[in-house]
Amino acid sequence: MAQRRQIRLLPINVANKIAAGEVVERPASVVKELIENALDAGATRIEVVITAGGRKLISVADDGCGMDHDNALMCLEPQATSKIRDVDDIERIATYGFRGEAIPSIAAVSRFTIRTCAEGETTGTCVEVAGGQIQGVTEIGFPQGTTFEVRDLFFNVPARRKFLKSYQTEQTHIRTAFMLQALSHPETAMRFKADGREVWNLPGGATLEERVMELFGRDFIASMRPMKHEQGQIRISGFVGVPTLSRSERSEQYVFVNKRAATAAVIPYALREAYPDPDHRPVVVLFVDLPPEDVDVNVHPMKREVRFRDASAVRDAIIAAVSDALGVIPRAHLEPSPAAAATPTTISNFKSQISESFPQPTHPTSTTPPLSPLNSSTPNSSTPPLPTLHSPLFTPTSSTLPLTHSPLSTLNSPLSTPPLPTTVPPPPVLIDETEESGGPWAWCRVLGQIHDGFLLVETDGGYAVIDPQAAHERVIYERLLSAAQSNEPISQPLLMPQSVSLPPADAERITANLDILRSMGFAIDPFGSKGEFIVEALPVGLERDDARSLLADLSHGIATSGVKRGTEKWRERSVAIGAAMSAISRTASLAPEAQSRLVRDLAATRMPYTSPRGRPTMLFTSLSELARKFGRAT
């Protein structure tokens, strides 16, 4: 039987440490909370100074309204706030801090100092706190405003302190937190210094466009389109990137609800539905403004998520804003394609369509060559060759691709095989039986691309449907790994060197892996101190106009795959996967030469059956399986 225990109130210092576990996740959380307090105080200038990734010092100074002596002491009490008075105020919160948790929680786990002076006061107040206990209160001469100093964060909670990451990683998180606040308040002058070095010095009175350009660079804003849409009391504004600036995930979607850096489940859904490319995510700086009573900002301990009273109205407004800015029709509103809409309703209609799309062959049947290793157990059979297709959704090509054993460094060599007639199937080019095949087929013939996406390929043992994106990922992945292991990278110089500016987290990953990138053929060097790089060359096969999108995708690949550090060469594999994620879209329309080259390159890889992320590159159907489905004897 469990022992009965008395219920007691926790000591205030213990309660504050527990609250700090929710509010103070890491040094960046402190920076966020203190900047929000400064904004609520009406500051027009905010300066943030950190040392050692925020572990040793975080200082946030503002020129806001300040506090008098009594308020400087009261702000250290739990649930003490000037933002709300009764329960009704919670339903219409228009400030950033309102729960009275931030200051006492931060003071409970640090050596904390407040220097402040209220508007109209002749003297200021200095309050020193250590681990939640007030050490001293003095009068000081101080200009109007408030400066918070947080030293030795988590000094009295060693279990929390040991879970902090490296100085550089924590500084990256702080830079991101600062950047989000700077984006949402371009009218406020903001300065950020780290370890004595100025990172950003942003003037006040700026427009959103000017602030975006200051944070991300001119090339970034040049690829963005302004958004402005009103629907009832919902206002959508900001910028959305053109498809060439898109990402494979959502890391560069900066979303603000009533100027608060937060999101809701409906927002990424709306952006996905509005964007024309289903395989990529738009880069956005998105502001959603609506009456405070129509949004609940108190549903997440860190206030990162909100809940809308009418989520469907917000969704529709975002879709309309993005679609208008890009001049596209949302994918959710598109009518079915003519081929998809033309569903046959009768057997006669179905037969008619089959006869139009698959005319009877006029050539004699031929004997199928020996089956490939994919179906080596099935005996040979005599079947008529595949007829030429004339469906409007089918792009025919007719080139026979004999498998060659070229090294990965030469996978991009152009094909010299001329087109062959489509009325008579070309004779298969077989590999000598004594020679090890090393590929998924002995010979193949690319028939074309269906639905502007998948490749249909006839092989010696049946047919295969290939996903170009997964196939290209495999080719790029093995090419980059081979270059890194052989120290013989093959680079393609860019016509003009590109200057690339990346967000703090992406810039940190790229900087940490510069040696690996260079071994794979990237000619890239850091430039400046704000996450900028100069790119002069890229590996063969990864040439694209927008080097920024490539590096951003590469950073995401490192972040998602680099956690598996137990395998050998995990860093090389992480970088290669990141680069492979920049592969062509599954729905990209490829020229016949590009189709043939991609199939040949895939066949020459060591593992042609899956992408480096584990997705299948092809689905194979053997001749015996095809005959069985049609009820033929095998």
Q: Kindly report, residue by residue over 113-122, the tens digit of the pLDDT.
A: 999 999 999 9
Instruction: Kindly give the pairing relationship between strand 260-261 and strand 284-289.
Output: unpaired
What is the rounded distance in angstroms from the CA atom of residue 385 to the CA atom of residue 396? 15
Coil, helix or strand for 83?
coil
Mean pLDDT of 201-227: 93
Coil, helix or strand for 398?
strand
Least Cα distance to 409 among 518, 484, 495 occurs for 484
pLDDT at 138 over 70: yes
Least Cα distance to 288 among 310, 317, 265, 312 occurs for 317
Measured CA to CA in angstroms, residue 631 lies from 367, 383, 628 at distances of 20, 13, 5
Measured CA to CA in angstroms, residue 448 lies from 105, 182, 451, 452, 466 at distances of 64, 50, 10, 9, 11
The tokens describing 613, both together, are 């992320």
Look at residue 536 in the predicted model and tell me its pLDDT. 92
Look at residue 207 in the predicted model and tell me its pLDDT. 96
Measured CA to CA in angstroms, residue 510 lies from 514, 517, 535 at distances of 6, 8, 12
pLDDT at 108 over 50: yes
Q: Where do the H-state alpha helices sit in 185-247? A: 208-216, 218-222
What is the rounded distance in angstroms from the CA atom of residue 350 to the CA atom of residue 341? 14
- Residues 519-555 pLDDT 10s: 888 899 998 767 889 999 988 777 665 788 888 878 8
Look at residue 234 in the predicted model and tell me its pLDDT. 96
In order of their start, the domains of the chain are 12-203 (3.30.565.10), 223-331 (3.30.230.10), 369-467+591-629 (3.30.1540.20), 492-579 (3.30.1370.100)
Q: Where do the H-state alpha helices sit in 309-392? A: 311-326, 338-341, 347-357
Is the separation of the CB atoms in 76 and 103 below 8 Å? yes
What are the backbone angles phi and psi of residue 202, rounded to the nearest 5°? -100, 120
Is the separation of the CB atoms in 590 and 347 below 8 Å? no
Q: Rounded to the nearest 5 degrees, what angle is found at the Cα of 107, between the Cα atoms of 101 and 112?
A: 140
Look at residue 227 in the predicted model and tell me its pLDDT. 95
Reported as type and span, the H/E element at residue 596 is: helix 592-603
Measured CA to CA in angstroms, residue 274 lies from 222, 309, 311, 427, 443 at distances of 21, 21, 16, 48, 42
Look at residue 153 in the predicted model and tell me its pLDDT. 95
Model confidence band, residue 133 (pLDDT cutoffs 50, 70, 90): very high
Measured CA to CA in angstroms, residue 230 lies from 272, 289, 527 at distances of 20, 10, 40
- Residues 257-314 pLDDT 10s: 999 999 899 999 999 888 877 777 889 999 999 998 899 887 766 668 899 999 999 9
What is the rounded distance in angstroms from the CA atom of residue 315 to the CA atom of residue 321? 10
Q: Where do the H-state alpha helices sit in 446-497? A: 468-486
Average per-residue pLDDT for the chain: 78
The tokens describing 573, both together, are 């594999």
3-state SS string for 6-31 = CCCCCCHHHHHHHHHHHHCCCHHHHH
Model confidence band, residue 341 (pLDDT cutoffs 50, 70, 90): very low
Look at residue 519 in the predicted model and tell me its pLDDT. 84
Mean pLDDT of 460-468: 91
Cβ count within 10 A of residue 413: 12
Q: Which of the two residues, 415 and 523, has the higher pLDDT score?
A: 523
